[in-house]
């Protein structure tokens, strides 16, 4: 919904001695907001403590309460607590009624409940927030600074320290005006710390992890803490609920999660693919509008033809296009359907901007499709979009998860495979991967690491994404295997649960969600990209009321095995829950991840872009990438149409763009 930037002087930082120094900090804050102005074109607000110690900045995309009263920063009636919020908070009307007698609300903004909840619950206010958010709160009386992020990391929040000042912002580029000089974190690159946890590509820059908050008291160095984490049941505890009860439980909670996300004072639409997740969202929205009289954002016509659905249309021969299936779904619903053609020319022209705004090198062209969709949605006047992200992470939707499902019997479900049957099925099943052409993961992994991961291999599969043609000198950072480094960064409670309590499928879901999902998918295919064209996306599947329920469903009802034909049905319980709201084609369709095309003609526009970006001068300027090996990859990508070579070369090009636009010093 917005963008935020803040400064906190840490203890020992000299207070600016004169008005010129204060003006300089204010000017730096303004320039940091300029870099994310696209996130908030409707209003801009700043506040500072007057002594140079605290600065808060906010750019606003108006979604709920379009009046100036809802502009930020917010402050309470006695002007001693201030907050800036990026995102949407649901159930705000409930808290207005609950806390209205003790807090004087100045607007109808959903985000203002942050101050009311903080006053009522203190630091525990974070547990009462429902939605997608990143926020900063300053309690001037107690000298307490808090930065927090939503449970799944839908909204980004980064921090670093420059000249003994804590900088916190929605995007890392916001640090540049404050004198930040970005340097590659080669150890993070080699150990894939930027793919998992709170690490980033840059030295000294961290993300506030999903479900975490950072806090400084009395201008002291920050502390990082957890207010929420993903949990799963003990794998040995029998499930007492019936299959029908759990199907109904999922349906009820998903419907409610969608319903609360229809609230907006602006037009609202849907991103629709050929998969069951976005199709279910569209189907339930149609049901709510037609059968329950729900408003679609600011539209109360209750006409299904007013539901706008947007779909990426890749080249038909690429094998990546789902627009025909999406169109059949939209026609079945009676919705207004719009395709967004994403040709090679579009991919080439939007490549560099996609990297700059996502701040994430992810080896796929799909993020460019997402950027193109946001642009078209904006041209139709749409400011809010419902999406299908987060379903696979809770309901076992990825092919990669089947291997983990077969590692152990599901003792929680009486009709699951026995140990003997499990061994037989596992031997017959072939490992499959979401990314085409991915090399075999996990070779040479230390046995102690295998034990810490309870023999799951999902982490090895995910970390292959960070496998680049590294320069030989960076091998000095490889004493620790990436899998070992990342599992050692887990909380001890989580490692204990992986070994003793969680089924391997749930372990894999946890590692996927905490790594690839929040650090890559939600950045490259989420908020950072959508907001380039002033579009706020809302993912109902990441509503924690729904996900906490889904996390407690037995593995055998997430991935269901059929002994009659040896097939697996991913997301079984979800399929049954949404069956009344989707076509038979969608209900029966096997999961296909949203991936862009990887095969392009030699000497075409994308090949020419790759050649330009991977010139010797550009690659050498990175410092950590081997130029000769990169040239081989580019050749294999376009001459031999090797999909994995294309993905790795694609990533190198993304690093070059980041290096040039951020002005990153050469690693050495």
Query: Is pLDDT at 442 greater than 70 in this prediction?
Result: no
Residue range 185-213: mean pLDDT, rounded: 94
* pLDDT > 70: percent of the chain: 97
Residue range 440-462: mean pLDDT, rounded: 88
Identify the pLDDT of residue 174: 98
Return d(Cα 125, Cα 227) in angstroms, integer.
10
Query: Is pLDDT at 653 greater than 60 in this prediction?
Result: yes
Residue range 520-529: mean pLDDT, rounded: 96
Query: Is pLDDT at 420 greater than 60 in this prediction?
Result: yes
pLDDT tens column, 632-647:
999 999 999 999 999 9
Place of tokens 């960076």: 474
- Spatial neighbors of 227 by CB under 8 A, at least 6 apart, are 126, 127, 148, 211, 212, 213
Identify the pLDDT of residue 120: 97
Tell me if residue 532 falls in helix, strand or coil: helix
254, 553 Cβ separation under 8 angstroms: no
- Taking alpha carbons only, the member of 526, 370, 535 closest to residue 38 is 535
Q: What angle do CA 660, 666, 668 make, to 5 degrees?
A: 160
Identify the pLDDT of residue 534: 97
Query: Is pLDDT at 573 greater than 90 in this prediction?
Result: yes
pLDDT band at residue 574 using 50, 70 and 90 as cut-offs: very high
pLDDT tens column, 164-176:
999 999 999 999 9
Residue 338, preceding bond cis, omega within 30 degrees? Answer: no
Identify the pLDDT of residue 427: 73
Average pLDDT over the chain, rounded to an integer: 94
Return d(Cα 54, Cα 432) in angstroms, integer.
51
Beta bridge partners of 184: 202
Does 584 count as an annotated binding residue? no
Residue range 507-513: mean pLDDT, rounded: 97
Q: Which of 125-139, 141-155, 295-309, 558-572 has the lowest mean pLDDT?
A: 558-572
Identify the pLDDT of residue 436: 54
Q: Which residue has the higher pLDDT, 462 or 428?
A: 462
Identify the pLDDT of residue 17: 63
Residue range 408-437: mean pLDDT, rounded: 74
pLDDT band at residue 437 using 50, 70 and 90 as cut-offs: low
Does 110 count as an annotated binding residue? yes
Beta bridge partners of 227: none
- Spatial neighbors of 250 by CB under 8 A, at least 6 apart, are 546, 549, 550, 553, 573, 574, 577
The active-site residue out of 2, 111, 174, 192 is 2
Return d(Cα 212, Cα 228) in angstroms, integer.
7
pLDDT band at residue 430 using 50, 70 and 90 as cut-offs: low
Helix 492-500 / helix 504-512 crossing angle, nearest 10 deg = 150
pLDDT band at residue 468 using 50, 70 and 90 as cut-offs: very high
For 178, the token pair is 């404050």
For 191, the token pair is 């150990």
Identify the pLDDT of residue 317: 84
- Taking alpha carbons only, the member of 430, 393, 404, 391 closest to residue 567 is 430
Query: Is pLDDT at 1 greater than 90 in this prediction?
Result: no
Q: Is 2 a catalytic residue?
A: yes
Return d(Cα 663, Cα 134) in angstroms, integer.
27
Beta bridge partners of 59: 3, 44
CB atoms within 10 A of CB 380: 12
Identify the pLDDT of residue 16: 63
Going through 342-422 in order, the beta strands assigned E by DSSP cover 384-386
Identify the pLDDT of residue 441: 66
Return d(Cα 101, Cα 86) in angstroms, integer.
26
Residue range 533-559: mean pLDDT, rounded: 98
Return d(Cα 180, Cα 161) in angstroms, integer.
9
pLDDT band at residue 422 using 50, 70 and 90 as cut-offs: confident
Phi, psi of 136 (to 5 degrees): -130, 135
Return d(Cα 594, Cα 27) in angstroms, integer.
42
Structural domains in the chain? 2-226 (3.60.20.10), 243-393+520-588 (3.40.50.620), 398-517 (no CATH), 605-662 (no CATH)
Query: Is pLDDT at 350 greater than 60 in this prediction?
Result: yes
Identify the pLDDT of residue 564: 80
């Amino acid at each position: 919904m917005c963008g935020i930037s803040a400064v906190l002087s840490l203890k020992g930082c000299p207070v600016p001695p004169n008005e010129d120094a204060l003006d300089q900090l204010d000017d730096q804050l303004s320039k940091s907001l300029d870099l994310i102005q696209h996130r908030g074109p409707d209003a801009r607000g700043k506040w500072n403590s007057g002594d140079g110690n605290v600065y808060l900045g906010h750019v606003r995309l108006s979604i709920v309460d379009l009046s100036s009263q809802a502009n930020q920063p917010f402050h309470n009636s006695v002007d001693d607590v201030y907050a800036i919020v990026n995102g949407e908070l649901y159930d705000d009307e409930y808290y207005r009624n609950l806390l209205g007698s003790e807090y004087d609300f100045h607007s109808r903004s959903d985000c203002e409940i942050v101050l009311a909840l903080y006053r009522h619950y203190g630091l525990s206010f974070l547990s009462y927030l429902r939605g997608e958010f990143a926020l900063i709160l300053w309690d001037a009386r107690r000298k307490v600074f808090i930065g927090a992020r939503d449970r799944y990391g839908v909204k980004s929040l980064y921090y670093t320290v420059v000249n003994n000042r804590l900088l916190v912002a929605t995007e890392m580029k916001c640090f540049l005006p404050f004198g930040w000089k970005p340097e590659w974190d080669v150890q993070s690159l080699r150990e894939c710390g930027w793919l998992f946890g709170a690490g980033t590509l840059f030295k000294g820059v961290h993300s506030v992890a999903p479900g975490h908050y950072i806090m400084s008291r009395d201008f002291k160095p920050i502390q990082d803490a957890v207010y929420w984490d993903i949990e799963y049941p003990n794998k040995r505890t029998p499930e007492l609920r019936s299959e029908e009860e759990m199907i109904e439980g999922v349906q009820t909670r998903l419907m409610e999660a969608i319903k609360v996300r229809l609230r907006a004072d602006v037009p609202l639409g849907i991103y629709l693919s050929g998969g069951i997740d976005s199709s279910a969202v569209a189907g339930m929205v149609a049901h709510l509008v037609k059968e329950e009289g729900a408003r679609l954002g600011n539209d109360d016509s209750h006409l299904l033809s007013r539901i706008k659905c947007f779909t990426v249309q890749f080249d038909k021969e690429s094998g990546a296009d789902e627009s025909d299936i999406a169109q059949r779904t939209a026609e079945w619903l009676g919705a207004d359907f719009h395709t967004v053609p994403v040709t090679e020319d579009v991919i080439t022209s939007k490549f560099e901007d996609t990297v700059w705004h996502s701040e994430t090198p992810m080896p796929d062209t799909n993020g460019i499709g997402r950027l193109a969709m946001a642009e078209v949605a904006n041209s139709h006047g749409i400011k809010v979009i419902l999406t299908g992200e987060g379903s696979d992470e809770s309901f076992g939707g990825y092919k990669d998860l089947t291997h983990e499902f077969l590692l152990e019997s599901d003792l929680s479900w009486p009709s699951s495979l026995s140990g003997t049957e499990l061994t037989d099925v596992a031997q017959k099943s072939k490992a499959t991967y979401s990314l085409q052409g991915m090399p075999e993961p996990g070779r040479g992994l230390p046995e102690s690491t295998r034990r810490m991961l309870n023999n799951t291999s999902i982490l090895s599969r995910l970390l292959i994404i960070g496998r680049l043609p590294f320069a030989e000198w960076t091998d000095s950072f490889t004493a620790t295997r990436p899998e070992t480094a990342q599992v050692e960064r887990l909380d001890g409670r989580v490692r204990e649960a992986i070994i003793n309590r969680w089924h391997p499928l749930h372990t894999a879901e946890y590692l996927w969600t905490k790594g690839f999902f929040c650090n890559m998918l939600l950045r490259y295919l989420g908020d950072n990209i959508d907001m380039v064209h002033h579009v706020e996306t809302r993912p109902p599947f990441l509503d924690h009321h729904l996900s906490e329920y889904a996390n407690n469903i037995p593995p055998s009802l997430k991935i269901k095995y059929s002994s009659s034909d040896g097939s697996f049905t991913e997301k079984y319980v979800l399929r049954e829950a949404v069956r009344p709201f989707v076509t038979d084609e969608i209900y029966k369709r096997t999961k296909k991840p949203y991936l862009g095309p990887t095969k392009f003609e030699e000497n075409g526009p994308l090949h020419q872009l790759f050649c330009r970006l991977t010139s010797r001068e550009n690659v050498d300027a990175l410092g950590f990438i081997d130029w000769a090996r990169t040239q081989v990859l580019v050749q294999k990508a376009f001459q031999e149409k090797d999909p994995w070579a294309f993905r790795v070369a694609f990533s190198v090009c993304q690093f070059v763009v980041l290096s040039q636009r951020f002005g990153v010093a050469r690693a050495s």
